[in-house]
Structure 1
Amino acid sequence: MFNSDMLWLMHPQAVAQLQAKIQMAIRVGAGPADDAEREGLPVTRRGNTAIIPITGPMVKAENWFTRWLGMSSTLAIRAAINAAVADDSVENIVLLIDSPGGSTAALSELGDTVALAKEQKPIISQVDSMAASAAYYVAAQTTKIYAGRMDLVGSIGVRMTLYDYSKAFESAGIKAIPIDTGEFKSAGEMGTEITEAQIAEFQKIVDGYFDDFRQAVMNGRGLSQKQFDAVADGRMFFATEAVELGLIDGIQNSETTLSSLIQVRSGRRTNSARRRLAAETADLPSQIC
């Protein structure tokens, strides 16, 4: 049984950490009663620059559970980018990235949103510790990418893991009996044997997402096939090597990047734009000190 949330563009160590946090969270119980209430878009404002954080594992939608785990929602990031593009008083957009990557769900749509948005306003990616896998997919679509000297970039690739528990079930005297309409409908179901044909089908799905990843990075960064192949084996690179490989544009920290972009305007700003962005950020803690 397959769904897109099974596929991850995420650093393997981060996957293990996330799994441990999920097991802890399961014991927490129900979330707050006002979970459905919208808390605002993930965007803060400094002068003429909108700052949008991409932190922690990336998932499609957000709720109290994902917020507790420190995840970022690709849907919320898209909405924040669109709001910043529509705001005439915003001249620059900075994606402040510290993420190991995440789910493939809605990732290509976020990448498309960034690629379209940079045609209207400069969008700068500032790596603030790590931009891995899905997070780098997004960064590759921006106007420029900068990272601190010891920040890590890369982990380009797609992964999923299948577990065949059929022998364990057999040892326990349990037999899983799939009742379905086709050879692949119950593929990967707990207790069923995973066949070579099923593995091949899952590999096709992984390869399909990787083809999209390849095109996104090559188009976004202007890399040749040879250049892409040199960095597409899952490795992480420190900033100096990432510059040499064409993955980022320069080495500088977040304050240097922000100070080069931010201009506090004198005189009156557009009131409607000011009110709109203020409303969007009213309930959010400051992301930048």
Structure 2
Amino acid sequence: MTHYPQIASQLFNRPLLAHRGTLEQYARAMAPRIFGGSVTFGGEWQAGLIGEPVRDAVDFEGNPSYTGPRMIGKSGVAVIEVEGALVPKGKWIGAMCDATSYEGIHAQVGDCRSNKDIRGVILEVDSFGGAVSGAFSCADAIHQLAQEKPVLAILTEHACSAAYLIASAATGSVIPKTGLAGSVGVIMLHVDYSKAMDKAGVNITPIFSGARKNDYSPYEALGDEVYKKAVAEADTVRDMFIDAVAGYRKGRITADALRKTEAETFMGADAVKVGLVDEVGDPIAAANAFISEIGRKAA
């Protein structure tokens, strides 16, 4: 039985750029790793960012787990996949958890910028979002890449919350008719075990120094003052989210329009009408058209 306190620290009592509908799935997938259970997981022991150690990461069989952006033949187009739950670091959580790390995306963006043979990039996005930590710097890196090479975000169905933040940084975006985009907002989770502890006959007495040290304790109900503090933090992150998207999509959607969505998600044509994405299209057809366009420019 293995516990993952780093994962727990990202999931609870912190703002999440995640769609409400994915929180239950996210928590259910992580629960055995966080609270203990019959889970085994090998490799990926380092959890640092400096020096991009993700490039040297190996899977539980000792094979390299970082392979760089996926190339589409000799088209000059690379694909960066943004799928599943989005997490800050990729060496202590990975494909086994249906997740993509901002760390891994960063490394792939760096490869796309430095590789002269890559003339265009497709972001394949299918995610309901995830952690705040690392999301904004990841989106900024993609936006920088988009200043140097065409970047097309193709939704292969969903780009919500943090995933939408990342998609919005691309040069352009395509959504299928049934796809969802948006959820430009912030949500937080707090777990209160106090009644469960009472039922079990367990009394936990926190001993601490510093009035705010015990904020968000899972062994007592969330007080009004702490709740207000949490809402204020969520509002701050939401403002950052709105400002970032409005900057990336300048001329296509304003900060005021984004705020008025109230973190709603929009399907297909409605997402285009609001200004969240650029056009409705079939993902495969959109990719083929992009590849052809990159080929024409290279000719």
The TM tier, using the shorter chain, reads: 0.7 to 0.9
* Aligned counterpart, 2:16: 8
User: Does the alignment pair 1:62 with 2:90?
Assistant: yes
Q: Deviations over 1:99-143 (max 9, x none)?
A: 111111101110110111111111110001110110001111111
* Aligned counterpart, 2:78: 50
Separation (CA, whole Å) in 2 of partners of 1:64 and 1:109: 20
* Aligned counterpart, 1:117: 145
Separation (CA, whole Å) in 2 of partners of 1:31 and 1:248: 39
Q: CA deviation at 1:145?
A: 0.9
Does the aligned pair in 1 maintain the 2:69–2:111 contact within 8 Å?
A: no
Does the aligned pair in 2 maintain the 1:31–1:65 contact within 8 Å?
A: no
Q: CA deviation at 1:175?
A: 3.0
Separation (CA, whole Å) in 1 of partners of 2:254 and 2:290: 30
* Aligned counterpart, 2:247: 219
Instruction: Within 5 Å, give how 1:63-82 maps onto structure 2.
Output: 63=91, 65-82=93-110
Q: CA deviation at 1:167?
A: 4.4
User: Does the alignment pair 1:98 with 2:106?
Assistant: no
SS in 2 for 1:61: coil
Does the aligned pair in 2 maintain the 1:5–1:104 contact within 8 Å?
A: no
Instruction: Within 5 Å, give how 1:184-199 maps onto structure 2.
Output: 184-199=212-227
Q: Which piece of structure 1 moves more, 136-145 or 185-194?
A: 185-194
SS in 2 for 1:119: helix
Q: How many residues align?
A: 265
> Structure 1 193/259 Cα, relative in aligned 2: closer, same or farther at 3 Å?
closer
Does the aligned pair in 1 maintain the 2:184–2:258 contact within 8 Å?
A: no
- AA at the equivalent of 1:242: A
Length-normalised TM-score, structure 1: 0.83
Q: CA deviation at 1:250?
A: 0.5
> Structure 1 193/152 Cα, relative in aligned 2: closer, same or farther at 3 Å?
closer
Does the aligned pair in 1 maintain the 2:17–2:129 contact within 8 Å?
A: yes
Does the aligned pair in 2 maintain the 1:42–1:53 contact within 8 Å?
A: no
Q: CA deviation at 1:155?
A: 1.5
SS in 1 for 2:155: strand
* Aligned counterpart, 1:29: 40
Q: Deviations over 1:243-275 (max 9, x none)?
A: 11000100112222221222597xxxxxxxxxx
Which ranges in structure 1 are unaligned for 5 or more consecutive residues?
Answer: 266-289
SS in 1 for 2:140: helix
* Aligned counterpart, 1:132: 160
* Aligned counterpart, 1:20: 28
Aligned structure 1 segments of 4 or more residues deviating by more than 4 angstroms: 2-5, 170-173
Separation (CA, whole Å) in 1 of partners of 2:124 and 2:220: 43
Does the aligned pair in 1 maintain the 2:59–2:65 contact within 8 Å?
A: no
Which ranges in structure 2 are unaligned for 5 or more consecutive residues?
Answer: 1-7, 44-57
Higher relative contact order (CA 8 A, sep 6+): 1
CA-based RMSD of the aligned residues comes to 2.5
Aligned with residue 182 of structure 1, among 207, 210, 223: 210
* Aligned counterpart, 2:270: 241
Separation (CA, whole Å) in 1 of partners of 2:258 and 2:59: 46
* Aligned counterpart, 2:176: 148
Separation (CA, whole Å) in 1 of partners of 2:41 and 2:100: 20
What fraction of aligned residue pairs are identical, expressed as a percent?
22
Does the aligned pair in 2 maintain the 1:98–1:131 contact within 8 Å?
A: yes
Q: CA deviation at 1:72?
A: 0.4
> Structure 1 126/187 Cα, relative in aligned 2: closer, same or farther at 3 Å?
same
